[in-house]
Amino acid sequence: MDYKTKPTSRKILRNNAKIFRQLFGFNETEPFDPLIALEKLSDVFTGCTYQIIDDDEFDRNASKNEMSFCVQNYECEGYSIYIRESVYTAAYRYKDGAKLGFICHELCHVYLLSLGFSPLSSQGYPENVIPAYCSMEWQAKALSGEVMLPYEATIGMTAEEMINEYQVSRGFADTRLRLE
């Protein structure tokens, strides 16, 4: 499910990626590790937490194809990220680029929400219905791509070089190459 939010552009998100990386202690060129950032989440964003949920329990609370999700904490200010255990395990043990990307995506939701990119209404839409620049999902995907693959540092790199250097999925690398 996607929600409409205030518009932004990839250029603005690219600039925000630099700030996002700094918040979690990463410079502009080094590989970004979402697992390290996850551990720092509550220090960077007050009231924000995360939980790793057993896959069976996760399936009872989310759709079967969901890997992770972010919701507002109503007890306190902030947000909670919930991550399927198999996703966290693959990210931790195998540095699986796709799984690291899912975690980064949720961290980006927290960041964007903190900047005021919240839903404009409670009405949700199927993906690809809202124009990308107003889509909460597109914005989080685009920002996570910019965070995981810093634009200036990856100019001229091949997809394989990006995958090896930055531990990202093929999809992240291919999308980055289309932006040149």
pLDDT tens for the 180 residues of the chain, in order:
899 999 999 999 999 999 999 999 999 999 999 999 999 999 999 999 999 999 999 988 787 789 999 999 887 789 999 999 999 999 999 999 999 999 999 999 999 999 999 999 999 998 889 999 999 999 999 999 999 999 999 999 999 999 999 999 999 999 999 998
**Phi, psi (deg, nearest 5) at residue 11:** -60, -45
68: enclosing H helix or E strand: strand 68-72
Q: pTM for this one?
A: 0.96
- The angle at the Cα of 148, spanning 142 to 152, to the nearest 5 degrees, equals 90
Q: What are the residue boundaries of the structural domains of the chain, listed by start? A: 10-178
Measure the N-to-C terminal CA separation of the chain; round to a whole number of Å.
30
**Phi, psi (deg, nearest 5) at residue 143:** -65, -40
